[in-house]
Amino acid sequence: MVKQVIKVYEGRSKRPLIVTASRGRGKSTGLALAAFYLMSNHKVNIIVTSPHKNNVVAVFNKLAELFRECFNWKFEFQNSSIQYMSPEDAVKYNIRPCLLFVDEAASIPIEILKELALSFNRVVFSSTVHGYEGTGRGFEIKFKKFMKIKFPNCNFFELHEPIRWSTDDPLESWLDELLLVNDISPSNMIGTFNKKFLKVDNNYLSNNENILKQVFTLLVDSHYQTQPSDLKQLLNKGNLVVFLVMEGDTLLGCALVEKEYNFSKEDSLNIFRGRKRTKGNLLQQSLSVYCNQFDLLLNNFGRIMRIAVLNNRRQEKIGSGLINQIRKWATINAIDIVGTSFGIDSELLNFWFSNNYKPVKLGIHKDASSGLYSIVMLDSKIKRYDEFERLFDLFNYSFVNSLSSTYKNEPIDYLYTILLNIKLPFESFPDENTYIKKYLNGQMHYEFVEFILKQWLIKVIYQKKASLENCSILILKIIQSKDWTICAKKNNLNGRRETEKFLKQKISILLNQKN
């Protein structure tokens, strides 16, 4: 491994290295040894990043030992240096050239990993891929696929032999077996049986170890935040309902739903007035305060905590089938509202929108673990709550008005996906086409028609008349209010004049197309 890391710096640029290993294989020591060699033989600036500083304590401990110094988060030697930075700071770092080490990469959001890969010419990604650490299959499937496409000369290296204990150590095997992480890859067999949907509880899982193992393996494989405590919750939590899709003895998918029962009127008043916050009932309490709806606390909720499907079976509507089963269960059991919350991305948004879920809340702070904003969506097919449409309208107004502030720097793909699926919160401006045409003809400045263009563009997207490709620069400039310089850079253009000309061309195409 050490030679491979050294080669990233001494060899040709744009040839990143991805190192994967189970715990205890010497990954951190290898990074430290490679850094020490490079700093002793070259003038090199090394940045080390990871989800948390604690992830790389072993790297800097080893460096302190090699340099015979006290522990520090930055070491300087001759004309070289190595220091820790958070992933967000590393993306912004503009002193070049340098070498980047990304440790525990599987626990960093994929979008940030992509930014790091594109920002540095020499990068080493290393990660633990066995057990509970990581982003499920996101790192193994999505990120590695991205790297192979963007960097055809990307190299992959895997450490197998442990250095903290002997090979085939029985204690390691026992712990893996105990915590159900001894087999992290669910079955990939192509099914030959009819699919069967089941609703089960804790007792069923406790008495069916084979199914319990398959459920938990699938959850670890699919979700970045699965922890050992989730296994305990799966077996002990009384208000948890588990939905399964089986094909013979093989689990294809599962969903975990937590029942959030209504509060008493006294507790509801205290929660609504901010005097009390109880453990659990996350969806109920969050939405009642955010939407200023006291009655939400008097309704029964079903919160979909997790939904997971085998990776090679995700085009078979299995997830949608699970949602339909949850919908039937909710109707029978007097559940008034069913919802879910997740770190926002276009793929997940499309899934939930396709199953008639609508957004009611988008967070204003990014989740520390995923690096993404969390969105809350509710099943619009279950309409037992009288003020349902009001919740959706509130989101529509709030979201549209936050696009040029809170979400100004967010990727346009998921913003576009939401705009495609939310009801227009306002009427068209009178004579909007006249104003827009005057702008296109150079008779009005952009700044005078910006608010008209914004309303018009949101309407055009909602009416499915604008593809993401055709309106990407329009979203950047008109909806997110990006500076002309940024719009130019994103579209490989020079200056405002050239960028505005391109903008007008895109507006003209959308304005003149037939309904």
Tens digit of each residue's pLDDT (9 = 90 or more) over 414-434: 999 999 998 876 677 889 999
Count of domains forming the chain:
3
The residue segments making up the domain with residue 324 are 195-409
Same domain, 404 and 496: no
Query: Which is nearest to 297 in space by CA: 274, 331, 316?
Result: 274
Same domain, 240 and 286: yes
* Cβ within 8 Å of residue 3, ≥6 positions away: none
Q: Cβ–Cβ contacts within 10 Å for residue 350, how many? A: 14
CATH number at 390 reads: 3.40.630.30
The pLDDT value recorded for residue 26 is: 74
Please say if the pLDDT value at position 132 is more than 50: no
Mean pLDDT of the chain: 87
- Between 128-142, 250-264, 377-391, 432-446, the lowest mean confidence (pLDDT) is in 128-142
Please say if the pLDDT value at position 53 is more than 80: yes
3-state helix, strand, coil in the chain (%, to 5): 50, 15, 35
Same domain, 353 and 226: yes
Contact 410, 365 (CB under 8 A): no
Q: Cβ–Cβ contacts within 10 Å for residue 206, how many? A: 12
CA 68 and chain centroid, separation: 41
Please say if the pLDDT value at position 229 is more than 80: no
Query: Which is nearest to 146 in space by CA: 120, 111, 181?
Result: 111
Query: 90 burial class (0-12, 13-18, 19+ CB within 10 angstroms)?
Result: buried
Contact 212, 205 (CB under 8 A): yes
Same domain, 267 and 149: no
Q: Provide the H-helix boundaries in 312-408.
A: 318-332, 346-354, 388-402
DSSP 265-282: HHHHHHHHTTS---SS-H
Contact 147, 156 (CB under 8 A): no
Please say if the pLDDT value at position 184 is more than 70: no
The pLDDT value recorded for residue 231 is: 83
Band of the pLDDT at 79, cuts 50, 70, 90? confident
β-strand partners of 125: 18, 102
Query: In the listed set 139, 159, 179, which residue is the last one of a domain according to the structure?
Result: 159
Query: In the listed set 159, 185, 217, which residue is the last one of a domain according to the structure?
Result: 159
CATH number at 99 reads: 3.40.50.300
Same domain, 291 and 151: no
Q: What is the mean pLDDT of residues 132-159?
A: 78
In a domain, residue 241? The reply is yes
Same domain, 129 and 213: no
Query: Which is nearest to 151 in space by CA: 16, 20, 4, 10?
Result: 16
Same domain, 232 and 115: no
Handedness of CA 437, 440, 445, 448 (dihedral sign): positive
Please say if the pLDDT value at position 436 is more than 90: yes
The pLDDT value recorded for residue 514 is: 55
* Cβ within 8 Å of residue 198, ≥6 positions away: 243, 244, 245, 246
Contact 507, 474 (CB under 8 A): yes
- The whole-model pTM stands at 0.79
Query: In the listed set 376, 409, 442, which residue is the last one of a domain according to the structure?
Result: 409
What are the φ/ψ torsions at residue 48 (nearest 5 degrees)?
A: -115, 130
Tens digit of each residue's pLDDT (9 = 90 or more) over 13-26: 999 999 987 766 77
- Between 180-189, 195-204, 406-415, the lowest mean confidence (pLDDT) is in 180-189
Please say if the pLDDT value at position 223 is more than 90: no
* Cβ within 8 Å of residue 48, ≥6 positions away: 31, 35, 56, 59, 60, 82, 83, 84, 85, 100, 101, 103
Number of helices followed by number of strands (H, E) in the chain? 22, 14
Contact 240, 257 (CB under 8 A): yes
Same domain, 248 and 345: yes
Token duo for residue 462: 């909602």
Tens digit of each residue's pLDDT (9 = 90 or more) over 456-485: 999 999 988 899 998 999 999 999 999 999
In a domain, residue 173? The reply is no
In a domain, residue 236? The reply is yes
* Cβ within 8 Å of residue 197, ≥6 positions away: 243, 244, 245, 246, 321, 322, 325
